[in-house]
Amino acid sequence: MKTAISRTLLIGLLVTATACARNDEELPPPPPPQDPVQQSQTQTPTPTPNVRDTVIPGSMADFMRQAGADRVFFALDSSTLDAEARDTLRRQAAWLDQYENVRITVEGHADERGTREYNLALGERRANAAATYLQQQGVDSDRITTISYGKERPAVEGSSESAWAQNRRAVTVLSGAAAS
Amino acid sequence: MFLQPLTLSLSKGPSLVQGLLLLIAALFLALPAAAQNLSVDINQGISRPLPIAVPDFTTPGTVDTAAGTTTTLGEQVADVITNDLASSGLFRPIDQLAFTTSVSMPDVTAPRYTNWRTIGAQALVTGFVEARGDGTITVGCYLYDVFSQQALVRQGFNTTPRAWRRAAHKCADAVYSRLTGETGYFDSRIVYVSETGPATDRIKRLAIMDQDGANHRFLTNGQNLVLTPRFAPNQETLTYLSYAQNRPRIYIYDVETGSQRLVGDFPNMSFAPRFSPNGRTLVFSQARAGNTDIYTVDVNSGSVRRLTNTPGIDTAPSFSPDGRRITFESDRGGSQQIYVMNADGSGQRRISFGDGARYGTPVWSPRGDLIAFTRMGGGKFRIGVMRPDGTGERLLTDSWQDEGPTWSPNGRVIMFFRSERGGGAQLHSIDLTGVNERRIDTPLQGSDPAWSPLRP
């Protein structure tokens, strides 16, 4: 009884396999040979996640991955870097240490709830706070430019506390990074 | 003696279109001393504006000019004067449909007072537009006290036909001045920042227009972010902040020619520029390493002088009209507040102390007696005024975000911009007494207005 069933199953599996093979024959031809990079990847014995990733080293995407963010945020009317901001900037500095050809512009921004001129100065103060911290982490000052946009270029629209929190920021913009 | 002496404006190039306003004093006899019975008290926040009739200006002969016939111009001149006077909130122009008589040339100098009295007019403005042989026009402007039957203004302006609006504004200024005892402000212009597009990618352009919104034109194309335009005392030159080449710096711009130049070449952001009363100096801010201070720069020589040297943000400087003092804002005391100092930077002193509120954008009145500001407190940004010693604080507006006051040339009206929650900004004006709040229409949205001095 048992063996009969097994045999029937085995036959069934064989039939299925044959059917699959036939189906394969009806599909388009297989893709052309893989390019050398992919081949070398497949030959690597134990691939790490980075190898499979499409992020190009030295690119903006790579910067974002390693630093976690291109921006840090500030409290109302403040240019003080909190622990999270310092951590982000440390990771930015570590990345910049690997890619010394990359220059950066640190853009300082304010939310809409301040007067025009004051916010220009406040944005400069924030950009300077972030830039100074990056220098302290070893980024050469010659590689850093700062600019303030005051309240002129919010990241998000709206007049809510959450919008204002996202707009009080210093953003590190790369130039000379590898194309993504 | 009460007539405002008008100076001769023989400006360069495009002035044939823009300027050339001549007072033809010789044509008009001197008038008797001011009548005491007809006047407008501008200090009380008028609740009952003065009824005034402004019939169409007539003409001694209909002649084609470069800006239409003299008859058409006469109607348009009356419209502009009517609009000017109404916008001040001090006058109530009577609807022309109520008029019981038209005005012909003889009526200009000998009004039929009874006809004006019956419709309730207390003051009457008459005038004419006459074409002259040289292609210019003369606009005659007369003001009468309807009850005492006295002439209060007789004035004439010679101009190119295309500049007819300026002659109308001059006439309205003469009426305003004669009845209020203060100089007028109608023959003036506004420069501001025209805004369009989403907040995250706003397009901003410098734009200029007459005080009443006419002759609007854009001065920059929107390619670069521009901010805080301010007039020079000559009304033909501006200073402003541009992000050209991604470097926020101060420029000087000539309105007539469109030419401009960079002021100085500072390594850091230079911003918040304003002219000194003699036009030879700019006072401005420079940010360096997180610290913003106030400087002056000589417009011609470029020599720079540092006025403040304290940790913190010192910005938004504005000269007193005598050039001896400067008001500015600083957060050196822990929060943004208004200060006053001597023009050489000495004697710096805080003048704003509102409970828990922040104060910014101080602007000295052209009369010297007040400083206008933005007060931030209680979840609102409001426009107010205080004396230069900090006393007499008075708030004029009450909205979510009013900011950036600028004074009319006579110091009676304040223009500012109002931002709406969620985005968008518009120009508004309000009388110094806190009444007559008006929205100033612009083709797009607007911010950072600056009022010119009275034009010559």
Residue A134 identity: L
Are B285 and A121 within 8 A, CB to CB? yes
- B10 has a chain A CB within 8 A of its CB: no
**CB of B346 closer than 8 Å to CB of B355:** no
Q: Å from A165 to nearest chain B CA?
A: 15
Quick one: pLDDT at residue B19? 38
Give CA separation, B92 vs B77, B95, B179, B359, B413, in Å. Answer: 17, 9, 13, 36, 18
Quick one: pLDDT at residue A50? 59
Residue B193 identity: V
* Alpha-carbon gap, residue B206 to B100, rounded angstroms: 46
Are A121 and B287 within 8 A, CB to CB? yes
Local structure of residue B53 (DSSP, 8 states): E
From the list A79, A117, A125, which residue is nearest B271 (CB)? A117
Q: Tens digit of pLDDT for each residue in A98-135? A: 999 999 999 999 999 999 999 999 999 999 999 999 99
* Helix boundaries (H) for chain A: 2-26, 36-43, 49-52, 60-67, 83-98, 116-136, 161-167
| Cα nearest neighbour of B271 on chain A | A117
Are B292 and A79 within 8 A, CB to CB? no
Angle at B319 between CA B388 and CA B390, to 5 degrees: 15
Residue B81: CB atoms within 10 A of its CB come to 29
Local structure of residue A95 (DSSP, 8 states): H
User: In terms of Cα–Cα distance, which of B34, B15, B27, B213 is closest to B127?
Assistant: B27
Q: Å from A113 to nearest chain B CA?
A: 8
**Number of continuous H segments (helices) and E segments (strands) in chain A:** 7, 4
Q: Tens digit of pLDDT for each residue in B337-350? A: 999 999 999 999 99
* Alpha-carbon gap, residue B81 to B24, rounded angstroms: 19
Mutate to test the interface with A, among B269, B374, B417 (most CBs of A within 10 A): B269
A65 dihedral zone (left: phi>0; alpha: psi -120 to 50; beta): alpha
* Alpha-carbon gap, residue B122 to B38, rounded angstroms: 8
- Joined tokens for residue B33: 């001393």
- B352 has a chain A CB within 8 A of its CB: no
Q: Tens digit of pLDDT for each residue in A3-34? A: 444 454 444 444 444 444 444 434 444 444 44
Residue B100 identity: T
Question: Residue A37, class by beta-carbon neighbours within 10 Å (0-12 exposed, 13-18 middle, 19+ buried)?
Answer: exposed
Are B285 and A117 within 8 A, CB to CB? yes
From the list B204, B228, B401, which residue is nearest A117 (CB)? B228
Angle at B39 between CA B36 and CA B43, to 5 degrees: 125
Mutate to test the interface with B, among A78, A107, A117, A141 (most CBs of B within 10 A): A117
Say what the pTM is.
0.86
The residues pairing with B282 across neighbouring beta strands, listed in sequence order, are: B275, B297
Q: Tens digit of pLDDT for each residue in B274-308? A: 999 999 999 999 999 999 999 999 999 999 999 99
Residue B294 CA to its chain's centroid (Å): 26
User: In terms of Cα–Cα distance, which of A61, A144, A138, A146 is closest to A103?
Assistant: A144
What percent of chain B is modeled with pLDDT above 90? 87
DSSP-derived 3-state class of residue B250: strand
Question: Residue A15, class by beta-carbon neighbours within 10 Å (0-12 exposed, 13-18 middle, 19+ buried)?
Answer: exposed
DSSP-derived 3-state class of residue B24: coil
* Helix boundaries (H) for B19-97: 70-87
- From chain B residues 174-213, the ones with a CB under 8 A of any chain A CB are 198-202, 204
Give CA separation, B336 vs A109, B10, B351, B373, B375, in Å. Answer: 18, 45, 12, 12, 10
From the list B290, B316, B448, which residue is nearest A125 (CB)? B290
From the list A79, A121, A157, which residue is nearest B199 (CB)? A157
Residue B403 identity: E
* Alpha-carbon gap, residue B235 to B164, rounded angstroms: 19
Helix A83-98 crosses helix A60-67 at what angle (to 10 degrees)? 140
Are A117 and B316 within 8 A, CB to CB? yes
Residue B158: CB atoms within 10 A of its CB come to 18
Higher pLDDT, B321 or B4: B321
- B225 has a chain A CB within 8 A of its CB: yes
The residue with tokens 């990359």 is A102
**CB of B226 closer than 8 Å to CB of B204:** yes
What percent of chain A is modeled with pLDDT above 70? 70
Q: Å from B87 to nearest chain A CA?
A: 28
* Alpha-carbon gap, residue A109 to A155, rounded angstroms: 9
For residue B373, what are the contacts with CB-CB under 8 A and spacing of at least 6? B338, B352, B359, B360, B361, B362, B363, B383, B384, B385, B386, B405
Are A118 and B247 within 8 A, CB to CB? no
Confidence band, pLDDT 50/70/90 cuts, at residue B21: low
Q: Sort out which chain A residues have CB atoms less than 8 A from B381's CB and list them.
A: 113, 115
* Alpha-carbon gap, residue B317 to B328, rounded angstroms: 4
Q: Sort out which chain B residues have CB atoms less than 8 A from A117's CB and list them.
A: 228, 271-272, 285, 315-316, 329, 360-361
- Joined tokens for residue A122: 């406040």
Are B403 and A115 within 8 A, CB to CB? yes
* Alpha-carbon gap, residue B152 to B32, rounded angstroms: 8
Q: Tens digit of pLDDT for each residue in B143-185? A: 999 999 999 999 999 999 999 999 999 999 999 999 999 999 9
Q: Å from B81 to nearest chain A CA?
A: 35
Are A159 and B421 within 8 A, CB to CB? yes
Q: Tens digit of pLDDT for each residue in B40-86? A: 776 666 568 999 999 999 999 999 999 999 999 999 999 999 999 99
Give exposure, A91-104, as e/b (b: 16+ Cβ within 10 Å): bbbebbeebeebbb
Q: Sort out which chain A residues have CB atoms less than 8 A from B335's CB and list them.
A: 77
| Cα nearest neighbour of B199 on chain A | A157
